Amino acid sequence: MDTEGTTGSAYEASGTAAPRLPRQAGPPGTPPPLPPRPAGPPPAPAAGTEPPFLTWLRTPRPDAAAPGVWRFGHRPRPAQEPDRVPGRQLISGAVISLLCGWLLWSLLWNGYLGHYWIWPLFALTPDSWRQEGMFAVWVVYGYYTLCALVLVVVFGRLGRWAQVWQRWIAPALARLWDDSGDAPAAVPEPEQDPAQWPRLRAAGAHDAADRLAADARAGLMNDVDFARVERAWQSARDRPGRLAAFTDTVLRHGAAACAHPSGARDLPVRAARHDLVTGQVRLGAAVDDERNPYGHRGAGCALDPALLGTSLLAVGPPGCGKTGRLVRPVLESLCLQALAGRAAVVAVGAAGAGLAPDDAFDVVVKIGRPDSAYDIDLYGGTDDPDEAAAVLAEGLVGDLAAALPGGDGRRAATALAQLLGPYRAAHGRFPSVPELRELLDGDSPALDALRAALKAGGHETLARELDARERQAHRPGDPGPLLADRLALLDRPAFAGFFDTSAGDRAFSLRGLEHPLRVRVDLPERGHAEASRMLARLLLAQFAECAAGRTDRSLFACLVLDDATHTLTTETVRGLGRLRSAHAGAVLTLRTLDDVPEALRSALLGAVGCRMAFSGVTTWDGARFAEVWGKEWVETRDVTDRQIIAHEPITRVTHVVRRVITGRAVTAQSVTVRKVERERWSASELAHAVPAGHAVLSVTSVRGGSAPPVLVDLES
C-alpha cells in the first residue's frame, strides 16, 4: 500500500506518530500483515452532471439549531407554536369566506347593490380620463381589478387563507416538486463555497486547494475524504512548520491524502445517514406531538461527539431497538470519524451481536475464540503496579465493593499491588492469570519462587510486600480468596490462549486511544456470562482511566458498551463524570435500571448528559427518568358545563325541544385558563404512551447547552 506522504504527514501534523497496531500471532520473524488496499475512489459522475458530493457539501447547516437537531438542510421553526386553528374549522372558514367574497363581487358586478361602489372612480379621476377610447377602458378595468384585489385581501384574511396555504398547499407543492426532480443547489460565491476550500486559499495554499477542488468536481472525493483532509489541515495550521508537508502530500495524492493507517476511505456498509461536516448521525425524527417542543416537531434527531462527550444511557427491554436503532448507527458514525482522523472508538458487546462487520474495524478481539488475532491486556498497558492493581480490582470485585471490608475496593487493590509490584520487578512483566491466581491463593511454592527471584535480581526490599501479603492473608475479611475466585472464571480452558502477559504485540491495550483506532471486543456471553460481565466491567474501568490519562486529547474517544448489565460500580459512575473534561464519552445500554445497584441509579442518571428511554420501559424505570427530566410550566384549560334555567315560556319550549332531539340538557360552558407545573414526561406516559419503534431522548452538550426530552420516531 502506498502510504508515502499520506499517513506520515497526517500524524506528524498532529504531533503524534502513526499508531502501531498489535500483531497477529505467528512464527518468530513473521512481519505484521499489511492492511488491505482501499476499494478505490468513488465512481466519476456522468458528463455534464454535478457530483452528489458537491450537492451534499453545499447544503446549508444552520449553526443556530438546538442540540440534538439534525442540522443537514434543517429549516428552523419558531420556538413557540402560533395559534393553531383546528383543520375542519380552518377549511370551513376558508370555503365560507370564498363563497361570501364571490357572492359580493357578483352582486357588485351585476349592479344589484347599485353603482355606489364606482363613485370613487368618478370622484378621483378627471373627466378626460373617462372619454371613449382605449385609455378609458384601461382606467375602468384597472379600477375593477383594484376593487377585486381589495375583496380578495379582505376575505382572504377573514378566511385565514394564508394558514391554509402554509398547512396544506405549500407542502403538497413541495412534495410534487421533489417527486419531479430535485433542483440543483445554488453555487455560492468562491470565497464562501466549501468545495473551493477557501480557508486553504486564505492561508496561501492555492495549489492544494485547486487539486482538492478538481478531485471534488471529478467525483474522486467522498465525505470521509473531505473530513479527513479538513482535520489534517487544522492540525497543520496549528503547527506552521507542517504546512509545507501538508501541501506536498495533497498535491501528490489529492483526495486520498493523509489516509488512515488502514488505508480505508469508507466503511464496507452504511446503514444510517451521516453528516461528517457536523459529525452527526441521524437517529430518526421528532414526532409532531403536543408533548414535543414546537421547535423540534418534524425535525430530525441526531447525535454527535459534542453530545456523546457527556455520555449516553439508553434503557429499554429486549427487542425495543437499542442495538439496531441506536448502538449500530452511533458506532458506524464513530468508525467513519475514526477514518477521518477525528475519533477513536472501542465497541464491546456479546459475540454474535452484529454491531458491525469485521472489515469496519482495525482490531477485533474475540475472547474465547481460537481464531482471534488479538488479545486483551488485563492491566491496561500500564507499567505502574498500583494503577494496574486499582483497575484490575475494579474489574474483578467492583460489583461487590460494598460487601467488602471497609465498604470499597481499596483493600482489594492493595492486596493486588502487594503481588504485582514484586512480580514485575522480578520478571519484567505482570503475572498471567494462572500465576496471579496461585499467588492470591497463597500457594507456598509460587511465593517462594517469587521471593527467590527478587533476591536474585537485587530487589530484597520488595520482599517485604510479600511478607505483608502473607500476614494479611491469615486475617478475617482478607480479599485475596475472593479475588482468586473471580480470577478462576478467567482461568478456564476456553481462555487458555488469552490474557498472556508474554504475548507481546498480540495484546491490545486501551493506551492506543491517542490514535484513530476502531476496536471491537466480542465477549463470550454464552457459557461464560459472569466472566463476560467481569471483562466488560474491567474494560469500562480501563477506558475511564486511559481516556482521562491521555496526553493528546485532540481525538474524541468513545466506548460503546452494548449491554452494561452488572458493570456499573461507584468508581465507574464517577469515571463517567470525568470523561467530559477529557474529550471522551461512553454509550451504555441497559434492559432496566434494576440491573444497576439501587444506590447508584440516581447517580448514574445524573452522571450522564444524554438519556434515552425506549418503548416498553417499566413504570419504575419511568419514574427515575421523570424525576431527572423535571417539570415545566404549562397552560391548562378547565371547561365547566352549567345548565341553563329558562324562565320565559318560549325559551322553555325551545329548551325542551332541544333536549328531546339531543338527549341532553341545554348548558353553557365556562373556560378557566391557568398555568400549572407538571412533569415533562410522567412515569405512566413513558411506560404506556411511547409507541413501538419510538423513544424519548434528552441531550446535553459539553458546552452546557441542552434540549428537553423529545419523542423520536426511530423508523422515520
Q: Please give the pLDDT value at position 430.
A: 93
The whole-angstrom separation of Cα 544 and Cα 541 is 5
The CA-based dihedral angle spanning residues 380, 386, 389, 391, taken in that order and rounded to the nearest 10 degrees? -50
Domain boundaries, the chain: 7-18+40-59+185-256, 87-169, 281-377+509-623, 385-495
Which CATH homologous superfamily contains domain 281-377+509-623? Answer: P-loop containing nucleotide triphosphate hydrolases (3.40.50.300)
CA 629, 632, 634, 640 torsion-angle sign: positive
Q: What is the mean pLDDT of the chain?
A: 85
SS (H, E, C) 622-652: HHHHHHHHCEEEEEEEEEEEEECCCCCHHHH
Closest CA to 284 of 644, 561, 679, 694: 694
More confident residue, 21 or 201: 201
Residue 685 has pLDDT above 90, yes or no: yes
Tell me how far the alpha carbon of residue 183 is from its chain's centroid. Answer: 30
The pLDDT tens digits for 560-611 are: 999 999 899 999 999 999 999 999 999 999 999 999 999 999 999 999 999 9
Range with lowest mean pLDDT among 4-13, 94-103, 669-678? 4-13
CB contact set of 364 (below 8 Å; sequence gap of 6+): 358, 372, 373, 374, 519, 520, 522
Higher pLDDT, 620 or 30: 620
The per-residue pLDDT for range 238-263, each reduced to its tens digit, is 887 888 999 999 999 999 999 999 99
* Rounded Cα gap, residues 65 and 635, in angstroms: 26
Query: Is 22 a residue whose pLDDT tops 60?
Result: no
Spacing of C-alpha 608 from chain mean position: 13
Q: Is 556 exposed, middle or buried (0-12, 13-18, 19+ CB in 10 A)?
A: buried
Question: What's residue 526's pLDDT?
Answer: 82
Average pLDDT, stretch 539-565? Answer: 94
Tell me the per-residue pLDDT of 298-310, one tens digit each, with 9 for 90 and over: 999 999 999 999 9
206-216: average pLDDT: 94
Tell me the whole-structure pTM to 2 decimals.
Answer: 0.82
Residue 30 pLDDT > 80, yes or no? no
Mean pLDDT calculated for residue range 348-365: 92
Could you give the dihedral angle defined by the CA atoms of residues 444, 447, 453 and 458, in that order, rounded to the nearest 10 degrees? -120
pLDDT band at 14 (very low <50, low <70, confident <90, very high): very low
Q: pLDDT, tens digit, for every residue of 39-65?
A: 444 454 554 577 899 999 999 999 889
Could you tell me where the beta strands, DSSP code E, fall in 398-508? 507-508
Q: What is the pLDDT of residue 92?
A: 86
pLDDT band per the 50, 70, 90 thresholds, residue 133:
low
Which of 173-187, 313-327, 390-404, 648-662 holds the top average pLDDT? Answer: 313-327
Q: Please report, as a single letter, which amino acid is at residue 210.
A: D
Q: What is the CA radius of gyration of the chain?
A: 35
Confidence of residue 127 (pLDDT cuts 50, 70, 90): confident
Q: How far is CA 570 from CA 88, 404, 541, 575, in A?
A: 56, 13, 11, 9
In this prediction, residue 38 carries a pLDDT of 39
pLDDT at 257: 95
Return the higher-pLDDT residue of 452 and 652: 452
Residue 687 corresponds to which cell in the numbers above?
411506560
Q: Which residue has the higher pLDDT, 29 or 326?
A: 326
Q: What is the pLDDT of residue 386?
A: 93
pLDDT for the residue 403: 63
Query: pLDDT, tens digit, for every residue of 177-199?
Result: 654 447 455 677 777 899 999 99
Give residue 687's pLDDT band: very low, low, confident or very high (50, 70, 90).
Answer: very high
Residue 407's pLDDT is what?
A: 59
With a pLDDT cut of 90, the percent of the chain lying above it is 53
